[in-house]
A and B are shown apart, each in its own frame.
Chain A
């Protein structure tokens, strides 16, 4: 039996185990939306967002929280162009997404037709791959390729552009169980000689540090990482993207490293003689001045993407493979032949040194202040959720305070735009996570600037009665830029004062959500408790100290040991 492209698409999504689609309708995709409601209403949860950018971020949040590819469906032209920020966000952070855009009918392509945009051309540099599907006979196969590419190797977003006449054309549905893409073969297995060299460096290391990134989460090897740490006693620092891949409360966790990392993490990396990088890419916010980064250390770099290796930093032992395979092989090697006796002695001294750094400079803020300190809000959120919430963030100070003061013990509970730094990411990402985990507490830690970038999604949470909580650390500034202006631009606050803002409590109410405000430190705890008890969306508006800064801080381009501590 022949069915049309719309039905082929939806049957293929079923085959892929997709249960949720985020999207927004339009002329070019009207047939697909019709088919969703007419034939597939029991198969998919369709989440109607209020802006296509939010659809992509929500699918991204869903993907980060679950590990499954997120799926979006939007129309042609502006529908597609609105997905660009979401795609670029997911691409930078290696998040698997499959995004379907409508396209004008094939005979009109190139004619500047109504709602036409060359979305394949526009998104080429911000997707892992993309396709225009010209014939309905190619649709099923292309969808299989898209899911394969999006979710394997170093994952990323894949976009499929679907002309309207192709969607309406009919053919037989035949979905391949698996496919070979001859030109796409990620290296999954570690090269044994590299493992042997790495194992020898690990045995000899006196001042080792593990530098774990988002790749540990992608690979799903947090258990192997824990085993490895138990075997070796190596302390672990995590990138922003890696938070949760190793328990934040573990005594060997150094917290985050880099520009706003902990003092002990940066000192440990700086003084290390072995740096074991796992699924991390030596981003400039991590390394600071590259010439000074871990310059006495042998560096082992495990990454599935060969382009990550030797890109920013010269490494001694590159290992291109799935992080899980590398850790399993290293655990095997160390089981056969343990660490050298005398190095275990050194490791004890190293632990003592790391602890000394910890005690020397802890993360801190003024705990006596009656004006609300934003760090205090994050700390209270951590306490009152027992560290079990899924936390998304916007970008800027809110993001850094969340990373510093909420300790993540479980993988896939921290959703943040690390690479692209997309303001407006956190709220829709929280929506995606809440849909995947309806019974979990999901909180977007936001700033008053960022939250306004996708505030329209309050209608979405209301429509689906999602109990997403938003904690606005409201300082009336674009706080991170203001902090730089204070530090490096003689206090000239060029266009970072945003005191003209909506009343967030009334705004919540306007959308039918609950709005709460705290203006004093003593009000913070009761307010959070009330929000957590509320079975529905809540905006918590914390009016915080306007000029609080994120510290410690490494100025851009400085070595990471040169921290402004305050």
Chain B
């Protein structure tokens, strides 16, 4: 059974660390569906969010192999608990004046934003879980998607004791 796992990895913010992590994945034939990385509030620590698919045995190996890397501080499989994950996409969609209203309606439903507009296209910004982004892409496709970029998932575990707040999802 191949399941989706969201793995959060705290690493030292040093040259070559991304290469160590991605090299470990490719060298051992593990899959990376998406990977995002940026510094945390501690400047010499970065957080990676890796989305991968695999059997329990493969995921166990991935986590152990990540922990074995010298520059890795902490590895958490978020999928084993409660977590929040988000992704952002920018979509350049065909929008001649006749079709602009259609685009705006879809964007509005998904609480997206128009961040650029030209005579015959617009760039839509959307944030949400992977499902929401895929749903919007599906609806925009008939109008003509010219270009698309996704950030890949970023995620954090939910707090255990603090009051629960989660952004409304669709």
Contacts and interface: CB of A to CB of B under 8 A. Distances in A.
A and B co-occur in one complex: yes
B147 to A, nearest CB: 31
A307 B65 contact: yes
A183 B9 CA distance: 12
Contact of A183 (B12, B24, B65): B12
A121 B17 CA distance: 11
A310 B60 contact: yes
16 contacts: A120-B16, A121-B16, A124-B19, A125-B23, A129-B70, A132-B15, A183-B12, A183-B70, A183-B73, A306-B68, A307-B64, A307-B65, A307-B68, A310-B57, A310-B61, A311-B61
Given A124-B16, A124-B19, A184-B70, 11 more contacts: A120-B16, A125-B27, A149-B70, A182-B73, A183-B72, A183-B73, A306-B67, A306-B68, A307-B61, A307-B65, A311-B61
Interface in B49-95: 57, 60-61, 64-65, 67-68, 70-73
B111 interface: no
A132 B15 CA distance: 9
Interface in A111-151: 120-121, 124-125, 128-129, 132, 149
A184 B15 CA distance: 18
A129 B70 CA distance: 7
Is the interface on chain A under 10, 10 to 19, 20 to 34, or 35 or more residues? 10 to 19
Interface in B5-40: 12, 15-16, 19-20, 23-24, 27
A323 to B, nearest CB: 18
B23 A124 contact: yes
A494 interface: no
Nearest to A134: B15
Interface of B: 12, 15-16, 19-20, 23-24, 27, 57, 60-61, 64-65, 67-68, 70-73
Interface pairs A-B: 7 shortest CB-CB:
A307-B64, A129-B70, A306-B64, A125-B27, A183-B73, A184-B70, A307-B65
A306 to B, nearest CB: 5
Nearest to B65: A307
Contacts of B24: 125
Interface in A472-523: none
Contacts of A129: 70
Contacts of B12: 183
Contacts of B27: 125
A305 interface: yes
B44 to A, nearest CB: 11
A162 B83 CA distance: 43
Contact of A181 (B15, B65, B70): B70
A132 B65 CA distance: 22
Contacts of A310: 57, 60-61
B19 A121 contact: yes
A99 to B, nearest CB: 16
Interface in A298-357: 305-307, 309-311
Contacts of A183: 12, 70-73
A305 B68 contact: yes
Contacts of B70: 128-129, 149, 181, 183-184
A4 to B, nearest CB: 24
A443 B71 CA distance: 41
B67 to A, nearest CB: 7
Nearest to A125: B27
Nearest to A184: B70
A305 B61 CA distance: 12
Interface in A398-437: none
A121 B23 CA distance: 10
A109 B68 CA distance: 29
Nearest to A307: B64
A557 to B, nearest CB: 18
B106 to A, nearest CB: 45
A89 B73 CA distance: 28
Contacts of A305: 68
Contacts of A132: 15-16
